[in-house]
Amino acid sequence: MKAYKIFFVFVFILTLKIFPQAGGSIGISDARSAAMGKTSVTSSFGLRALGNNPANLFSDSSKHVEFIIPFPLPNLSGSIGTNFITIDEYNYFFGYKTKDADGRTIGRYLNDADKSRMKNLFADGGAITGDVQVQYFAISIKPSNTFGSFAFSMGDIFSSNVTFPQGIVSIALDGNPVNQIYNFNDTKLKAWWLRKYSLSYARRLNILPIFQKISVGVSFNIIQGFAYTGIDHVNTQLTTGAGNVITGKGDFLAYAAFSPDFNVKYDFDKSTTAKKDFEFSPFPSPAGSGFGFDFGLNAKLNDMWSFGFAITDIGNVKWNKNVAEYSSNKPIYLDDLSSQAQRDSLVDALTGKDGGKYISEFSTQLATALHLGASMQLNNLLLAFDYNQGFNDQPRNSTKPRFSVGADWALGFFSLRTGLSFGGFDKFNWGFGCGFDFGFLEMNFGTPDFQSVVNPNTAKRITFAFDSRWKF
Rounded-to-integer distance, Cα 376 and Cα 383, Å: 5
Residue 8: which pLDDT band, with cuts at 50, 70 and 90? very low
In a domain, 96, yes or no: no
**pLDDT at residue 12 above 80?**
no
> Which of 50-54, 76-80, 93-97, 359-363 shows the lowest mean pLDDT across its residues?
93-97
Q: How far apart, in whole angstroms, are the C-alpha atoms of residue 26 and residue 221?
A: 17
Residues 117 and 86: beta-carbon distance below 8 Å: no
- Residue 455, pLDDT above cutoff 80: yes
Average pLDDT over residues 378-398: 94
Give pLDDT tens digits for 394-427. 998 989 999 999 999 999 999 999 999 999 888 8
Could you tell me if residue 65 is inside a domain?
yes
Specify if 47 maps to a domain.
yes
| pLDDT exceeds 50 at position 296 | yes
Residue 74 has pLDDT above 70, yes or no: yes
Q: What is the CATH number of the domain that holds 450?
A: 2.40.160
In Å, the largest CA–CA distance within the chain is: 84
13: pLDDT confidence band, cut at 50, 70 and 90? very low
Is 285 inside a domain boundary?
A: yes
Task: Calculate the average pLDDT of the chain.
Answer: 88
Exposure of 177 in the CB half-sphere (CA atoms within 13 A): 4
Is residue 316 situated within a structural domain? yes
Q: How confident is the model at residue 27 (pLDDT cuts 50, 70, 90)?
A: low
Provide the residue range defining the domain that includes 144.
Answer: 2-84+122-471
Alpha-carbon distance 6 to 172, whole Å?
Answer: 27
Q: Which of 38, 132, 2, 12 is nearest to 417 (CA)?
A: 38
Residue 340 lies in a domain: yes
Average pLDDT over residues 27-39: 87
Give 227-279 pLDDT, tens digit per residue: 999 999 998 888 888 877 888 888 889 999 999 999 998 988 888 675 677 77
- For residue 47, which phi and psi values (nearest 5 degrees)? -65, -20
DSSP 443-462: EEEEES-HHHHHSGGG--EE
Number of separate domains in the chain: 1
Say what the pLDDT of residue 376 is.
98
The answer to whether residue 113 is domain-embedded is no
Q: What is the pLDDT of residue 267?
A: 87
| Residues written for the chain | 472
Give the lowest-confidence range in 51-55, 75-79, 100-104, 246-250.
Answer: 100-104
160-188 pLDDT, tens digit per residue, is: 999 888 887 887 777 778 888 888 888 89
Q: Which amino acid is at 106?
A: I
317 vs 130: which has the higher pLDDT: 317
Q: Give percent above pLDDT 70 in the chain.
A: 93
Q: Is residue 317 part of a domain?
A: yes
28 vs 217, more confident = 217
Give the pLDDT band (50/70/90) at residue 9: very low
Mean pLDDT is lowest, of 146-150, 341-345, 412-416, for 341-345
Give, as one character, the DSSP assignment of residue 339.
Answer: -
* pLDDT of 28: 65
Nearest-Å Rg of the Cα atoms of the chain is: 25
**What is the arithmetic mean of pLDDT over 327-344?**
81
The residues facing 429 across adjacent strands are 421
Question: Would the pLDDT of 393 be above 60?
Answer: yes
For residue 72, say if its preceding peptide bond is cis, omega within 30 degrees of 0. yes
